[in-house]
Amino acid sequence: MPDDNSFSNEITTEIAPIADEGDVLLHAEEIGVRASWGRIFGPTSLSVRAGGVTVLAGSGGRGRTALLLTLAGRMRPSTGTLTAFGRANDAHHLFSQAAIADIDEVDGIDQTIRVSDVVTEQIRWAAPWYRWVRPSRQEDLERLCGPVFGNFALPAMKDYVEELPELTAALFRIAMANIRRPPLLVVGGVDRLTRIESADKLLSRLVDLGRDQTVITADVNGARLNGVRDVVDVHNLTDDEFVQLEQHDRI
C-alpha cells in the first residue's frame, strides 16, 4: 500500500471560460417533462445568460425541482427544445458541463456521518480509479470548501453533518457538489433556509461563484437580490403532493 506521500489528494479544477457577457448559455423553448404517471412540468420557456446568478421565480415543489434537474442535464425534456452549450437536447453533454447541489434527489448526504468522511468520499469519487486516496485532512477541507465558504467559518472535520447549522450545511453541500467547478452550477434548497439572513448570506456566496461560473438557483426566500444578474419568471410548474421523482425518470 502506498504511503500518504505517494499520491496527492489534489483535484485538478479546470474552469471552462464562460461566454461573453451578453451571450445566452442555455435556452429552453416550450420544454416539458412527463413521467409514466403524467406531466411533471411544462411547457416552460426561459433563457439563461452566461455568467453570474440567474434566479428562477416560480411556484415551489417537485415541478420546479424537476426543472432544475433538467437544466443540469439530470432529466431529459419530453417535449420542446433545450439548447445548452451550443447543443440542442443533448442531456448527456449538458450533464458533463454542470454540477447540481442542495437537491435531495441527487446530492443528499447521509446525516449521521462526519464532515471528514464526506470530504474523503468526494475526493475518491473525483480521483482516477487507479489512484489510492488517503483519508482527508484539514487542508483538503480548506481547499475544497474555501471557494464556496469565502469568509464564513468552515465546519470542523469531526462535526456530524446532521449537527451543522443550516447555512453551513447548505454551503458544505454546494462545495461537495462543485468539487470540479464546471461551467454551470445549479443550486436548489435556498428557499428551504428558515432565516432570511441565512438566505442573504448564501446568495452572496453564489454571486461570488458567479464570477467564474454560471449559477442557476430558484426562489430565494425573501433574500436581497444584490448582485443577482437576472430574475426569470417560470410558469407551468406542476406540484402534486402525491407525485414523486422516481429514479427511472432521471438520467
Nearest Cα neighbor of 100 from 169, 184, 27 is 184
Closest by CA to 238, choosing from 64, 75, 5, is: 64
**Confidence band, pLDDT 50/70/90 cuts, at residue 128:** confident
Looking at every residue in the chain, the average pLDDT score rounds to 85
Note whether 67 and 45 are within 8 A (CB).
no
Domain ranges of the chain: 24-249
Q: In this predicted model, what pLDDT tens digit does every residue of 136-158 receive, in sequence order?
A: 999 999 999 999 999 999 999 99
Q: pTM score, two decimals?
A: 0.84
Q: Which residue has the cell 464546471?
A: 182
What is the pLDDT confidence band of residue 243, given thresholds at 50, 70 and 90? Answer: very low
Report for 11-25, 204-218, 232-246: range of highest mean pLDDT: 204-218
CATH superfamily of 24-249: P-loop containing nucleotide triphosphate hydrolases (3.40.50.300)
Residues 6+ apart with CB under 8 A from 128: none
First to last CA, the chain: 36
Mapped to the 3 state alphabet, what secondary structure does 199-228 carry? HHHHHHHHHHHCCCCEEEEECCCCCCCCCC
Question: What is the rounded CA–CA span in Å between residue 32 and residue 45?
Answer: 9
Model confidence at 70: pLDDT above 90: yes
Q: Comparing C-alpha atoms, which of 93, 98, 108 is closest to residue 48?
A: 98
Beta-sheet pairing, 79-84 with 87-88: antiparallel
Least confident of 40-54, 66-80, 97-111: 97-111
Contact indicator for 206, 187 with CB cutoff of 8 Å: yes
The span from the CA of 217 to the CA of 206, in Å, is 9
Least confident of 20-29, 53-62, 67-76, 196-205: 20-29
Are 70 and 56 a contacting pair, CB within 8 Å?
Answer: no
Report how far residue 117's alpha carbon sits from residue 79's, in angstroms, rounded to the nearest whole number: 41
